């Protein structure tokens, strides 16, 4: 990753600067491989066939995901480190997801991937029974629709599930609990009573909602609950066969696989985070659109401002600007403030850019939902719809006030509840659970296993971010065409390329690892405090503690490292930004000469 001056000889001095280009469509090939794995997890695929094909396929998908950000990148790649870093962050995720799905056993396939929808009772059940289920084993998988309406499983903080036949219907937001969205039978059911649980009903990943409301009647889970003793065996068998036929339909399997692949947080699935750990979703579609649009615009403003600050600091312009605006600052103090502001902007800008992506995708999916129904209405009138409504409960905010409520729950609450849960499942499946099992089999204390597992989880997170920067810097070297372009526009070479890797300090090289590996130690100290005092750190002391571990320590390690490794190099100086960089989301990250004033 060092800057090799010999690379200048590889291209003629008058070579034109490479034009801007998006990654090749081949860069999405590992996504197609993940889709095949998700498809093989569907109940329509026989168990032995699924297991064999997944074991054969997942190493290929993992290798392809690993190689993707090295082979297919934004161009010119030596000026696109910011864009390529964000593009490459999903490659390690693809590696871990391929490993998780490829090695998943039949038990996990049947139970952990079950779609349970939203019945609003998770919070109440967790409070009532959490003490009773510690040390218990996972109960039977999700039953048929009406059975789940009366006995629905709850996932507790330690991953266990128990039935709760007597919970009241109440949503976690205090709103009336909506009917769970469950798959519907292709053939209208001949009976109006729920079926008895049968072995055929233990199926993973049912559809999140009916695909065509006019063809498929409402889910039987919405029918009035009847005593199961009044159902004849023949009626139960017919209902079970109808549901099984629907879930084994090829179109249903494709739809379920696509939904499973696109649901990064697993909201509505048994493997997803408990609803109580997520931010509150909007109460209706109109509120959802307003909130998502407002957050999208706010995040764009924050992201663009932070990137501008970092570019000003990179070019040595921020400290003089502060000295002019704040005459009481000495030159040394102005330099320190400028460096600190730019490093603090790393976390704020990444937080904002992730919100741009999450809210942008949510709004795009909502627009696609409305457009699809509009087209179908033109074709078939009101008798055909894709989905009767857009379920906003699947799209709560990505973050739950991580900075405003920073002290609530301490550091464990920050990472477990406040921060996004995009990679929670792969970290748990690939890191936490295997390590705890291994330590338990080795006969070591339970606390030791938990600490080792948390260390592995944070190490996986550190690897994801470190690997993304490695891929973004891969092959980085000054090119004659780039240097000629910079000279013709009077751009300093320090704006194009970061310092060589060999000249960086230890923290500048390895700040990512330092930050993420200190977090489990800090969480352990919180647990020691909890055991000694009987209460978790919170209030202003908790806010100060989390701010010290995340904000202060983060800017001194990972912020310093990412800037030194070139996170904003290749972007033009702020004085040369065109209006596109200021007004269009994330285009402030586009490399030179795109959206750059050259006059």
6-10, 53-57, 93-97, 368-372, range with the lowest pLDDT: 6-10
> In the structure, what pLDDT confidence band is assigned to residue 14 with cuts at 50, 70 and 90?
low
* pLDDT of 455 above 90: yes
Q: What distance in Å separates the CA atoms of residue 181 and residue 229, rounded to the nearest whole number?
A: 25
Tokens of 427: 């970290």
CA distance 440 to 448: 9
Beta-bridged to residue 577, according to DSSP, are 596
Residues 516-572: tens digit of each pLDDT = 999 999 999 999 998 888 888 888 989 999 999 999 999 999 999 999 999 999 999
Q: What is the pLDDT of residue 131?
A: 40
Q: For 344-358, write each residue's pLDDT tens digit.
A: 999 999 999 999 999
Beta bridge mates, 596: 577
* Torsion angle (degrees, nearest 10) of CA 59, 64, 69, 72: 180
Would you place residue 36 in the very low, low, confident or very high pLDDT band (cuts 50, 70, 90)?
A: very high
Q: Coil, strand or helix: which one is 596?
A: strand
Give 434's pLDDT tier (boundaries 50, 70, 90): very high
pLDDT the model gives residue 185? 32
Q: What 3-state class would DSSP assign to 64?
A: helix
pLDDT 10s digits, 572-583: 999 999 999 999
- Position 415 scores a pLDDT of 92
pLDDT digits (tens, 9 = 90+) for 126-179: 344 334 334 443 333 333 333 333 333 333 333 333 333 333 334 444 444 444
Question: What pLDDT is attached to residue 409?
Answer: 87
Q: What is the pLDDT of residue 330?
A: 92
Contacts (Cβ under 8 Å, ≥6 apart) of 167: 121, 124, 125, 128, 152
CA distance 465 to 461: 7
- pLDDT one-digit tens code per residue, 377-402: 887 666 655 666 788 888 999 999 99
Nearest to 249 by CA among 213, 293, 191, 206: 206
Question: Mean pLDDT over residues 314-331, rounded?
Answer: 93
- For the whole model, what pTM was predicted? 0.79
H or E element that contains 163: strand 161-164
Query: Under a CB-based contact definition with an 8 Å cutoff, are residues 329 and 323 in contact?
Result: yes
Question: Which pLDDT belongs to residue 382?
Answer: 62
76: cis peptide before it, omega within 30°? yes
Residues 6+ apart with CB under 8 A from 461: 423, 427, 516
- pLDDT tens-place string over residues 64-114: 999 999 999 999 999 999 999 999 999 999 999 999 999 999 888 877 787
- As beta bridge partners, residue 21 has 75
**Residue in this structure with the two tokens 């040390």, named with its chain if needed:** 135
The two structure tokens encoding residue 17:
């600067």
Which residues are CB-contacts of 156 (< 8 A; sequence separation ≥ 6)?
126, 129, 130, 133, 162, 274
Mean pLDDT, residues 263-268 taken together: 88
| Per-residue pLDDT, 536 | 85
Distance CA(144)–CA(198), nearest Å, equals 8
Picking from 565, 494, 305, 451, the residue whose alpha carbon sits closest to that of residue 557 is 565
Domain residue extents for the chain = 5-24+73-86+406-589, 119-248, 285-394
Element (H, E) at 153: strand 152-155
Mean pLDDT of the chain: 79
Report the distance separating Cα 183 and Cα 333, nearest Å: 62
> What span, in angstroms and rounded, lies between the C-alpha atoms of 591 and 572?
7
**Burial class of residue 127, CB neighbours in 10 A (0-12, 13-18, 19+):** exposed
Q: Which of 561, 560, 557, 565 is nearest to 498 (CA)?
A: 565
The answer to which of 41-45, 271-275, 277-281, 396-400 has the lowest mean pLDDT is 271-275
Q: What is the largest CA-CA distance in the chain?
A: 87
Query: Can you say how many angstroms the Cα of residue 115 is from the centroid of all Cα atoms in its chain?
Result: 19
CA 399 to each of CA 92, 280, 418, 421: distance values in angstroms, whole numbers, following the listed order:
22, 10, 6, 8
- 188 pLDDT tier (thresholds 50, 70, 90): very low
What are the tokens at 118?
Answer: 């939203």
By CB atoms closer than 10 A (0-12, 13-18, 19+), residue 379 is exposed
Residue with tokens 């034009």: 19
**Stretch 54-69: mean pLDDT, rounded?**
97
At residue 245, the pLDDT reads 58
Of 228-232, 357-361, 408-412, where does mean pLDDT reach its minimum?
228-232
For every residue of 360-423, DSSP letters joined together read: HHHHHHHHHHHHHHHHHHHHHGGG--S-SS--GGG---SSS-TTTTTTTTHHHHIIIIIS--TT
């Amino acid at each position: 990753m060092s800057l090799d001056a010999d690379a200048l000889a590889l291209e003629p001095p008058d070579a034109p600067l490479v034009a801007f280009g998006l990654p090749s469509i081949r860069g999405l090939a590992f996504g197609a491989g993940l889709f095949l794995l998700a498809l093989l997890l569907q109940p329509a695929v026989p168990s032995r066939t699924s297991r064999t094909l997944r074991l054969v396929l997942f190493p290929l998908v993992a290798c392809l995901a690993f190689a993707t950000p090295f082979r297919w990148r934004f161009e010119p790649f030596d000026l696109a480190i910011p864009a390529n870093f964000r593009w490459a962050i999903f490659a390690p995720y693809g590696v871990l997801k391929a490993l998780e799905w490829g090695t998943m056993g039949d038990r996990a396939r049947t139970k952990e991937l079950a779609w349970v929808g939203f019945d609003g009772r998770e919070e109440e059940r967790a409070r009532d029974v959490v003490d009773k289920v510690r040390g218990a084993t996972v109960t039977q998988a999700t039953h048929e629709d009406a059975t789940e309406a009366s006995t629905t499983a709850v996932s507790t903080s330690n991953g266990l599930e128990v039935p709760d036949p007597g919970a009241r219907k109440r949503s976690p937001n205090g709103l009336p609990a909506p009917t769970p969205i469950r798959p519907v039978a292709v053939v209208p059911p001949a009976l109006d009573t729920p079926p008895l649980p049968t072995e055929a009903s233990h199926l993973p990943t049912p559809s999140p909602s009916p695909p065509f409301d006019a063809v498929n009647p409402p889910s039987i889970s919405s029918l009035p609950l009847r005593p199961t003793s009044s159902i004849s065996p023949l009626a139960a068998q017919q209902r079970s066969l109808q549901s099984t036929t629907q879930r084994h339909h090829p179109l249903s399997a494709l739809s379920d696989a696509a939904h499973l692949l696109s649901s990064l947080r697993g909201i509505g699935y048994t493997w997803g985070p408990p609803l109580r750990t997520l931010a509150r979703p909007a109460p209706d579609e109109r509120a959802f659109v307003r909130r998502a649009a407002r957050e999208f615009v706010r995040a764009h403003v924050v992201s663009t401002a932070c990137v501008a600050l970092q570019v000003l600091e990179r070019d040595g312009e921020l400290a003089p600007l502060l000295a002019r605006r704040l005459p009481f600052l000495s030159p040394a103090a102005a330099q320190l403030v400028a460096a600190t502001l730019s490093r603090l902007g790393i976390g704020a800008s990444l937080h904002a850019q992730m919100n741009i992506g999450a809210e942008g995708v949510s709004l795009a999916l909502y627009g696609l939902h409305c457009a699809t129904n509009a087209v179908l209405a033109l074709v078939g009138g009101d008798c055909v719809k894709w989905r009767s409504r857009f379920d906003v409960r699947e799209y709560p905010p990505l973050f739950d006030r991580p900075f405003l409520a920073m002290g609530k729950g301490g550091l464990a609450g920050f990472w477990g509840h406040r921060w996004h849960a995009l990679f929670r499942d792969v970290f748990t499946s690939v890191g936490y659970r295997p390590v705890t099992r291994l330590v338990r089999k080795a006969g070591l204390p339970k606390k030791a296993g938990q600490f080792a597992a948390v260390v592995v989880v944070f190490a996986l997170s550190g690897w994801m971010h470190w690997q993304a920067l490695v891929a973004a810097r891969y092959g980085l070297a000054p090119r004659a065409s780039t240097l000629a372009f910079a000279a013709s526009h009077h751009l300093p070479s320090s704006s194009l390329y970061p310092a060589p890797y060999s000249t960086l300090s230890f923290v500048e090289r390895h700040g990512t690892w330092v930050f993420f590996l200190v977090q489990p130690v800090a969480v352990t100290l919180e647990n020691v405090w909890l055991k000694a005092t009987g209460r978790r750190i919170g209030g202003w002391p908790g806010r100060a503690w989390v701010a010290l571990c995340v904000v202060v320590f983060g800017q001194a390690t990972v912020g310093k490292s990412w800037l030194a490794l070139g996170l904003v190099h290749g972007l033009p100086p702020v004085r040369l930004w065109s209006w596109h960089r200021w007004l269009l989301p994330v285009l402030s990250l586009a490399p030179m000469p795109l959206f750059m004033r050259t006059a």
